[in-house]
Structure 1
């Protein structure tokens, strides 16, 4: 039950977020690793078994940890509970993140765009906001952080569309090119709104993982066929440059 174990788990399971977090001050990293490792735990829970009830039990385990503050023998639960107590993180926010992951268990399609938006709001935007809270965010920062988190989540979702489809999911409520382009433009609008809010420097590590969202969403908006082809990855040089720029200037 250590921060190093959480960091190692993020390095293996979410290398882009790991790279962004490594650009943060050490004190910020110590608060972000448990959250990001927790996010990986709940994100993978529906995928590690073909039995829906076992997946439900895995998610319930984390709901109990968050609600009760109990510390089972688990390398992520201990640091997470410590952080919840130290930073007074809202249990209901973490619980909504867990609940949203049930979509991956039962394979039900989203009935409309609003349902997809709600899923990304609970998962990605929720993660960005709880990370910002762990770094000392105030209520007036929530809208901007959530806008950036939503855009980052939508970009990641569009990149994952081919894999989700291959696993039997229906990730888009409307896969027509014009609908996909509209989704991407929505994400860009929220990203721009979040960027212009002027977040404090101390909160930059919480939003830096969105460093790829802008170009990914622009590609999807201009050529939505790239989504189904799985062709939204940035060139390696561009990825590295954007991360370095974000780390030094705060621009994402």
Structure 2
């Protein structure tokens, strides 16, 4: 074999091997994001599976990023450590947008987010908003408006990014995302209350507690015969319900190709109904049970094109 021919074959082999390594690395990163969302965000994971590729891959990357950020608050007891970890992600996002990859860790979620950013030109401030929203580690709100701003930043923003991953920047779709995100975010906070006793966190606005003469301690105890606590939960659930109805009323104005993005409305509505049947008692055992019909209802809603 001539030397030039051998060099050419070697270059082709290296190119092929590099290409295979990239594909394998991409598969590992995709699988990591999928398992992360499946473990920590099951309801949204089921919805995301109904999206078509390549949008599904990007949506899983975005939701995996959100899981990483959300887990920081619940996994550290020292706020300073949590803020340091959030700072790491803030700097990482900044470097990704500057293409400063030499100083970015080789981590599956980061690889997938970088690909999504490059493929869809995702808006940087949305990632920054998700991170900055988690700086509110104690989840204490004076007014309902403050709570709505928090869930808009931490939940609705994820939907904005998923819409961008579909190539849609539409004011009507954004309005639906805003209302649905607020409804879903409020429900998430209500569901978290029975688990917050250790952290002594009550994410219910002070204005609602004061209106019903209920203390945070009473909410954490959540005794079954405490009508005041039930009224507090009922009022906040009502705020979530109104946002959900707004989202549904605007449904017809959303481009058809991104309607599956809003399938989380199904789970949100289902939980609100279960909460009503439990008389707004957050520790009712029925609320902790898995909704086994949810996968089927997601598919039915997807098939009908209606939530």
TM-score by length of 1: 0.89
Structure 2 runs not aligned, ≥5 long: 1-24, 210-218, 220-228
Residue 139 of structure 1 deviates from its aligned partner by: 3.0
- Of 260, 265, 274, 1:205 maps to 260
- Of 97, 119, 142, 2:130 maps to 97
Partner of 1:110: 141
Residue 4 of structure 1 deviates from its aligned partner by: 1.9
Partner of 2:200: 168
Partner of 2:302: 247
Distance 1:114 1:235 in 2: 31
- Conserved 8 A contact 1:208-1:247: yes
- Of 169, 176, 187, 1:155 maps to 187
TM-aligned CA distance change 1:108 to 1:40, over 3 Å: closer
TM-aligned CA distance change 1:111 to 1:229, over 3 Å: farther
Moved more, 222-231 or 162-171: 222-231
TM-aligned CA distance change 1:152 to 1:75, over 3 Å: same
Partner of 1:62: 89
- Conserved 8 A contact 1:129-1:149: no
* 3-state SS of paired residue (1:165): coil
Residue 25 of structure 1 deviates from its aligned partner by: 1.6
Deviation string, structure 1 residues 150-180 (Cα, Å, up to 9, x no partner): 2122222222221123432122123543332
**2:249 is equivalent to residue 196 of structure 1:** yes
Deviation string, structure 1 residues 75-122 (Cα, Å, up to 9, x no partner): 101111221232121111211111111222xx2622222221111111
Partner of 1:7: 34
Query: Based on CA coordinates, which of the two structures has the bigger radius of gyration?
Result: 2
**2:236 is equivalent to residue 183 of structure 1:** yes
Moved more, 214-223 or 2-11: 214-223
* 3-state SS of paired residue (1:73): coil
Distance 2:52 2:283 in 1: 37
- Of 162, 166, 172, 1:131 maps to 162
- Conserved 8 A contact 1:152-1:210: yes
Residue 51 of structure 1 deviates from its aligned partner by: 2.5
Alpha-carbon RMSD? 2.2
Query: How many residues end up aligned between the 2 structures?
Result: 250
Partner of 2:177: 145
Partner of 2:153: 122
- Conserved 8 A contact 2:120-2:164: yes
Moved more, 92-101 or 230-239: 230-239
TM-aligned CA distance change 1:37 to 1:103, over 3 Å: same
Residue 66 of structure 1 deviates from its aligned partner by: 1.8
- Conserved 8 A contact 2:47-2:263: yes
Partner of 2:7: none
TM-score by length of 2: 0.74
Residue 221 of structure 1 deviates from its aligned partner by: 5.2
Structure 1 runs not aligned, ≥5 long: none
